[in-house]
Amino acid sequence: MAKQLKKKIDQTTEEKIKIAARKLFTRKGFAAVKTRDIAEEAGINLALLNYYFRSKEKLFKLIMEESFLQFVKGIAEQFNDENTNIDEKIEKLVESYIDLFSQYPDLPLFILSELREHPDAFSSRLDAVTGISQSVFVKQIREAMKNGVYPEMHTFHFLANMMSLIVFPFIGSPMLMKITDISVKQYQEMIQERKIMIPIWIKAMLKSNAYKLIK
């Protein structure tokens, strides 16, 4: 009984810490948050925070992993929705990713770091959750190419272009804001505009004959 009570208390305390950390990382970003801030937000002392999570880095990694994997489970449903066509899937995917990265601005860099340091493990976990390579979405695209709706193109180019258009403006936001001389508010407005623009560009790319020119 005592062990069960301790386990319940541990789980409750860990959850309080994660909720507080997620809130602060989202609001301030990783660099600006101190472990003391997280402890105060969670209503616990710093020693207790350090007991459960040895470092801010470890806690940040856990928060980002949980947030991203929870998100991709939802994305997997969109990838495998039999009732939506290619255009609808592209629009939903772009909107979902932009909303996620707007909520967690540090997430794109975290994903890139994990892909660089643990490429096989991270990619395997991602594909295990989404099943991208065997998804309805990819099958629809391949079928459309086979039927002549779109020119033949390797799915690598399609996925690389779509992810680049979505992710880079978040990774390169400081540089982009500086060289285009825009404010944070203007940047955020333009990111929202990309929810409409990116699907238009992706659909145009699918219909392009560019891939044939290099074959």
- Does residue 73 have a pLDDT over 80? no
CATH topology of domain 1-54: Arc Repressor Mutant, subunit A (1.10.10)
DSSP-derived secondary structure for 20-73? HHHHHHHHH-TTT--HHHHHHHHTS-HHHHHHH-S-HHHHHHHHHHHHHHHHHH
Q: Which residue has the tokens 């940047």?
A: 187
Confidence class for position 198, pLDDT limits 50, 70, 90: very high
HSE toward the beta carbon, residue 81, CA cutoff 13 A: 17
Q: Provide the token pair at 213.
A: 């020119």
Q: How far apart are CA 74 and CA 77, in angstroms?
A: 5
pLDDT digits (tens, 9 = 90+) for 103-150: 888 788 877 777 777 677 666 666 655 567 788 998 999 999 999 898
The string of pLDDT tens digits covering residues 20-41 is 988 888 777 788 889 999 999 9
Domain ranges of the chain: 1-54, 57-213
d(CA 66, CA 26): 14
Q: Which CATH architecture does the domain made up of 57-213 adopt?
A: Orthogonal Bundle (1.10)
The pTM is what?
A: 0.74
The single residue listed with the structure tokens 């472990």 is 35
